[in-house]
Chain A
Amino acid sequence: MSEVPVPPANLEYQRAGRWSLFLKRFLRSRNVMAGAIVLGLVILSVALAAQISPYEPTQQFRRHRLQAPNAEFLLGTDNLGRDILTRILYGGRVSLQVGIVSVAIGATVGTLLGLIAGYIGGWSDVLIMRFIDMMLAFPGILLALVIIAVLGRNLQNVMIAVGLSSIPVYTRVVRGSALSVKQLDFIIAAQALGASSGRIMARHILPNVLAPTIVVATNGVAGAIISGAALSFLGLGQQPPDPEWGLMLNEGRDYIRVAAWVTTYPGLAIMITVLSINLLGDGLRDILDPRLKL
């Protein structure tokens, strides 16, 4: 690699250097590439569901109920004679959407709270962290269940519930990083120049806490897909007849003795998707933040 010496004062050059380094590591990591390719294929096929499948997701072929995978129905049919592959493709749109929207909600609110708690500190820190402790007292999917119980059960509330219940992770990570960044010289310099707290948080702290947040958010999408599908599985999210991976698993449960494919394939879809996102997330962690170990 022949690299032109970069004048240290030129920020543009440095930034480009950082990005190309990132890209280089990204392309070199086998796990990241495997994860990215598989995830890309999943997103592509889900997006092209209408082009790939000749059927509608709720279309019923009454004469072809519970058929094993064959040339006409590649992954078989369910108890109502609906094509499983078609339902997996359309259902994947919902599952991926739940994953992304809930992470967007959780990461935004969580990061904001973490910035305030970490940078401003004082009473705001105490209040926010007590609130976070309170949320953490509801372990795992329980918090999402509580929120669903309050808001009512539908898909939109699933995204809100899963999103809100993921706030603590982001707040903790961002607060921790903000606390350490806060003491660095360039922040003190910015304060001396009279920059407002808002400006310092947005322009100086945020970019420096972004790396761990991205890592957490990537794995968070996998977790959100699992939780979202779990809620639909329990009957609290997507309602029949529309497809969703968790709901499909639940619908196939009664036929597991006679038609295992009705449950196996949607489950496989969740697992492949989650696995690829986790591979990507683990790889990103090694690239972006080697210190962050889990």
Chain B
Amino acid sequence: MGEGRQIVASLDSVTKKYGEVTALCDVSLNVGAGELLALLGPNGAGKTTSVRLMLGLSKPLSGKVQVFGRDPRIVSARRRIGAMLQVAKVPETLKVKEHIDLFRSYYANPLSLRTTLEAAGLEGMENRLFGALSGGQKQRVLFALAICGNPDLLFLDEPTVGLDITTRHLIWQQIRNLVRQGRTVVLTTHYLEEVDALASRVVVLNHGAIVAEGTSAEMKARTAQRKIRCVTRLRPSEVESIALVSGVAAYEDRLEIRTMQVEPVLRELFLRDPAITGLEVSNSTLEDAFLKIVETGNQEVQKEMTA
């Protein structure tokens, strides 16, 4: 995590089981003040379990969970925390402003109703019953409830799942603003685009363990960096023999060449086939990095299981 940042939340050698299923296995994780940490991983990797533990909704089998130096299962330890969780149904017969007013009452220094409505993009909807809102508007109310207490630490469990692009960007913008104001955000998500757009640090979980950790850029650097696609008369085996090429795949009429250094490889390609066409060069995406990390992890797990 960030150098010398104050730690606001931590898991210390935490193991959590649900019955026979191990949700987290000896996981240690620190959240530094002011950072935007993304927890990434496939379903069942332990992202939501980590968040539930840090919110005091769940108790570890072993290890220690702390938020602002205290056990989050104590009510008063949660006074500086806001949370947006996945919920199937919210009481529909309260108005937007009533929901917000109630959650504001739990905190010592809440935002005003007006500020909360503005920040969540709910102006003009305060008198609507929750049940009369669209899906995107409902999600904004949940976001409003998370921020209305003016929290220093915010947990967002898949905040933009199923949202239209406008609402998603609105919430991203709000998350950036909160971080700019010095708040700490812990985000779980399936959307790699979301991580790329927001996160200062990424932790990848798989099978209840941390499999990778770093900045978004560092993550990408962990995988074969860039891709060259082109139509060429050269055979894949020939391209593979070029220095610095780390992999070649043939797709119909074109080749996909992976390499850490694009320029020398391109020069060599042009020398060998001046008639090369359809050239495309792309950076590796976070998605490539993510898939690679998870795939490697799975292979290791399989090896362990067969061993």
- Please determine whether chains A and B interact with each other in the same assembly: no
